[in-house]
Structure formats: C-alpha cells, structure tokens
Amino acid sequence: MFNPMWLFYILVFPGALFCFVAGTLLNGLDRKVYAKMQQRIGPPILQPFYDFMKLMGKETIIPYEANKTVFLGAPVVGFVALVTIMLLLPQFGFTAFGELNADMIVIIYLLTIPAASIIIGGAASGSPYAGVGISREMVSVISFELPLVMVLLAIGKKAGGDGVTFSMKAIADYQAANGAMICQWSMIPAALAMLLVVPCEVGCHPFDVAEAETEICEGPLVEYSGAPLGVFKLNYYVKQLVVSALFAALFLGGKGTGIVAADAAIFYGECLLVTFFSMTLIRATCARLKVEQVFKFYWTVVAGLALVSLVLAWFGL
C-alpha cells in the first residue's frame, strides 16, 4: 500500500531537501552568532551553502591506497541515516512516518550510523592521521552513548508510567497531555545532560577530538576532497539540525497548535534555541578537550546528571 505522500516526505519535507536547506541555514546562523560572540562580523548566513557548492565543484582525489567504493559511499550512507531520523521524529502532532511507530532504539542505532560512516570512510582512506582520528571518534561515541541511553531511559520511565516505554509516539502523546517534558522538575537534570550530549554527538568544537584540525589534520576526513568532503560537511550541518530536533522532540514537545505549518515553525524555532545553548555558547567559550578529558567528563558529570533524573523518574517523581 504505497502512499504518494511518502515520496514527498522523503524527498521534500522533512526529508532530504528540507534537511539540506534547514541544516545549512542553521549552521550559518550558528557561525554568525558564534562570530558575534567573539566581536567579529562573521561569515554570511549562506556561507555553509557556499562551502558545499564550492566543494561540489572541486576535483575529487581518491588516494591510491583507498578502497574506492567504501571511500565514496560512506558519506552518502551517513546522510541517508540522518534523513531517516528526521522522518521518524515527532514534531508535535505531526510525524512523517507515524504509522511505523518507531521507537527510541531505532533512533539510537540510526544516530550511530553517521559516526560509523566517518569511521568507515576514514578507515578506507588508508591514512595514518585518519587512523588516529577514527580511534578518537570511537572514544567519543562510547563517551556520549552511555549518558544518552540513560537520558532516554529516564524519559521512557517518565512517559511510560508503570513500565518503560520506548515509543516516540507515546512520549509525544505524554507531552501533549502533560506539557513539555522539561517542565517536570525531575527531568531538568536529564535535559542538562542531553544538552551536553548534543555537541559531542554532532562533533562540534570543544568535543571535536576526532576532527581536531590543528592536531591531527581533521582526522578521518584527512584524505577527502571535493564532492565526498562536501557531503561529509553537509552531514555535519544536518547532524546539528537532527540532534537538536531530537532534543526538541524529547523535551520541548507539547500539544502544538494543530496546524502543521505553525507547528513546524515552532519546532524548528526550538531547534534554533537548542543549537544556541548547546553548541554555539559552549563552542564560543571553551577550548578543545583532550580525548581522555571528554571520556571522563561524559562518564562522570553528564552520566551523573542523567542518573539523578533516572533515579527520580524511577521513584515516580
């Protein structure tokens, strides 16, 4: 039973085209505000778009030692996974693929794929810098996965009542009935933890140990050039959008207005806010951490915050 709306969902809204446009705009705004915080004028808001278009027009060099198929395929796989997450996230009442009734476990798996695509692409390029980069990427994935799962468990327990629910729809329904999740005081530590998980998940500045430009020459991306690099950069922009949208769906849901367009406008406005607080502000004020510092920070402070919420939720608060 093919539904013609599916094609529209996948290709236009909230699928590929929308992800491209909104992701580049979000990153452009992020860079502009970041520059403002440093008393600079900053690049134009369309700068990420220019970057992407320029990389599309550059020569693509494939290293002699690289596996061509994997090298070129990895960024596309990451992009497809990100678009898929976008299709499964509830935006107030509207979910593109609502019938699938996807749960959070799917989203956790799909969120790992962009990181995995970076790891696979880096490994295929056969550069020693990429080798260092992928080992760092793995460490950062391990560091943010634990707090992320604990946050999701806390939310699941809160929304599930007696049992634990993993359904995104149940969480959206719970928020529609009881107001946004962040208004529950027992969920505030989890929200803080999630705010700190977001930048590491995206791989932006203080936690970009894998792509440290000045230390290991952008790590896994070291051998990429031209169009595949452009798609990787696009992945970065879209990841910013998707992960902040995940935060908005989990914590800032609600009843909505009932009109899809207005709901979407509010939802992506919330994404902008999340991006500002979790990425731009932290990026502008902190220096890059070392690998072991990232690991320690996530498994003590952030995991601790998530644990507080989890325990509170377990006691029914």
Partner 1 sequence: MFDNLINKSAAKSPWLFHINAGSCNGCDIELVAVLTPRYDAERLGFRLAGTPRHADIVVVTGPLTAQIKDRVLRTIEQVPEPRCIVTMGSCPASGNVFKDGYTYAGPLSKYVDVDVDIAGCAAKPETVLEGLYQAAMILEQKRKDMKNKGGQI
Partner 2 sequence: MAFDFPFVKEALTQMFKKSSCEEYPFKPKEAFPNYRGRIVFHGDRCIKCGLCEKVCAGGAIHNVLISEDEEKEVYERTFDLTSCTFCSYCSDFCSKSAIELTGDFHMTGTKHEDLLVKGQYTKVKKKPVAKAAPAAKAESCDNKAE
Using CB under 8 A, list all residues that contact partner 2. 33, 35-41, 281-282, 284-286, 289, 293, 296-297, 301
29 binds, among partner 2, partner 1, none (CB under 5 to 8 A by kind): none
State how far the Cα of 171 lies from the Cα of 159, in Å rounded to an integer: 6
Report what 284 binds from partner 2, partner 1, none; CB cut-off 5-8 Å by kind. partner 2
Give the integer Cα–Cα distance in Å for 120 and 134: 8
37 dihedral zone (left: phi>0; alpha: psi -120 to 50; beta): alpha
By CB under 8 A, residue 226 contacts partner 1: yes
Among 229, 245, 294, 302, binds partner 1 (CB under 8 A): 229
Closest distance to partner 2 from the beta carbon of 265 (Å): 24
Residue 91: φ, ψ to 5°: -110, 95
Give me the least distance between CB of 75 and partner 2, in Å please: 31
CB of 205 to partner 1, least distance (A): 14
**Binding-residue pattern over the window 47 to 66 for partner 1, x denoting contact by CB under 8 A:** x-xxxxxx-xxxxxx-----
Residue 239 near residue 211, CB atoms below 8 Å = no
Q: Is 178 in the site for partner 1 (CB under 8 A)?
A: no
CA angle 129, 147, 242 (to 5 degrees): 70
Q: Tokens standing for 221? A: 């991306």
Cβ closest to partner 1, residue 229 vs residue 303 = 229
Angle CA 76–79–82, to nearest 5: 155
Examine residue 292 and tell whether it contacts partner 1 (CB under 8 A): no
Answer yes or no whether residue 8 interacts with partner 1 by CB under 8 A.
no
Binding mask 14-43 for partner 1 (x = CB under 8 A): -----------------x---x--xxxxxx
| H-helix segments, 187-226 | 188-202, 213-216
Per residue, the 3-state secondary structure of 81-108, as one string, reads: HHHHHHHHCCECCECCCHHHCCEHHHHH
List residues binding partner 1 (CB under 8 A).
Answer: 31, 35, 38-44, 47, 49-54, 56-61, 129, 213-214, 216-218, 221-226, 229
